Amino acid sequence: MAGYIDFDPDANDMPAAGDVNISYAVHPWARRQAVATTAVLQICNYLAEEDIGDRAIIRAARENTASLGVAERCGFRYIAENPSTTDHRPDGLPVIYRTYALNLRDRSNARQAPGLRGGQPSACR
């Protein structure tokens, strides 16, 4: 297993009603191989096909440049930077999350993950 991905349409602290939180992790040996990018594209396509939520949301600590890159490569747009109300750094200060959103209703420019029905190989690398 290279990692995991999950979505939560009932997550707290979402920017708006209808937002679906996406979370993922990739084991160190599988990083920098488009694992997270492919998984995020697949989960977003699933959410759109199953009509789950209006927007997909990725929140990543601002120093997590790998996750910020995944969001950008998958077509998510930066919307805000906010302190977490639940997650804290070792020094006790709140984690500052950069929040990215992808409109699941407007799939005109949707990127497809490899291996999906009718999908083309992803332009995300």
Is residue 125 very low, low, confident or very high in pLDDT (cuts 50, 70, 90)?
Answer: very low
DSSP string, the chain: --EEEEEETT-TT-SSTTEEEEEEEE-GGGTTSSHHHHHHHHHHHHHHHTT--SEEEEEEETT-HHHHHHHHHTT-EEEEEEEEEEEE-TTSPEEEEEEEEEESS--TTPPPPTTSTTPPPPS--
Q: Which residues pair with 69 in a beta bridge?
A: none
Q: What is the pTM of this model?
A: 0.81
H or E segment and range at residue 67? helix 65-73
CATH class for domain 3-103?
A: alpha beta
Residue 121's pLDDT band, with cuts at 50, 70 and 90, is: very low
Say what the pLDDT of residue 1 is: 85
Mean pLDDT of the chain: 86
